[in-house]
């Protein structure tokens, strides 16, 4: 079965500092990995995805993520955090052995302090 873990419920970072939001996954086949962001009282918005190819994926709003197959991780990063990045972040995985179903992690709340 596929699963996703986000080991930190909350991440606090000062504005201008680099940020990392962690994600690890478990699948039986090849993983398709995604990051989404949710602002208060809104639906989730797609940030970036890894399907195949380059392990470093760049996405919206200056975010990037690195796929690490040996560590089964897909951490989200940004070189310089903004207060407006404060939101709830979800990692999700699709296992190519399980067709079309996503599995989402529990979410990590990012707070960027001015």
Partner 1 sequence: NAGVTQTPKFQVLKTGQSMTLQCAQDMNHEYMSWYRQDPGMGLRLIHYSVGAGITDQGEVPNGYNVSRSTTEDFPLRLLSAAPSQTSVYFCASSPEPNTGELFFGEGSRLTVL
Q: Which chain residues interact with partner 1 by CB under 8 A?
A: 4, 9, 32, 34, 36, 41-46, 49, 51, 90, 94, 96, 99-107
Tokens of 72: 């089964």
Least distance from C-beta 10 to partner 1, angstroms? 12
Cα 35 to Cα 48: distance, rounded to the nearest angstrom: 6
Q: How far is the CB of 88 from partner 1 (least distance, A)?
A: 10
- What is the rounded CA–CA span in Å between residue 109 and residue 113? 13
The residue among 100 and 114 lying less far from partner 1, judged by its C-beta, is 100
Nearer to partner 1, 70 or 100 (CB): 100
């Amino acid at each position: 079965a596929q699963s996703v873990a986000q080991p930190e419920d909350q991440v606090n970072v000062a504005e201008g500092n680099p940020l990392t939001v962690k994600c690890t996954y478990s699948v039986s086949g090849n993983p398709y990995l995604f990051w989404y962001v949710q602002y208060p009282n809104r639906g989730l918005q797609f940030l970036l995805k890894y399907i195949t190819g380059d392990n470093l994926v760049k996405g919206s709003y200056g975010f990037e993520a690195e796929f690490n197959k040996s560590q089964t991780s897909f951490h989200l990063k940004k070189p310089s955090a903004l207060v407006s990045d404060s939101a709830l972040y979800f990692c999700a995985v699709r296992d190519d052995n399980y067709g079309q179903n996503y599995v989402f992690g529990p979410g990590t709340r990012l707070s960027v302090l001015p």
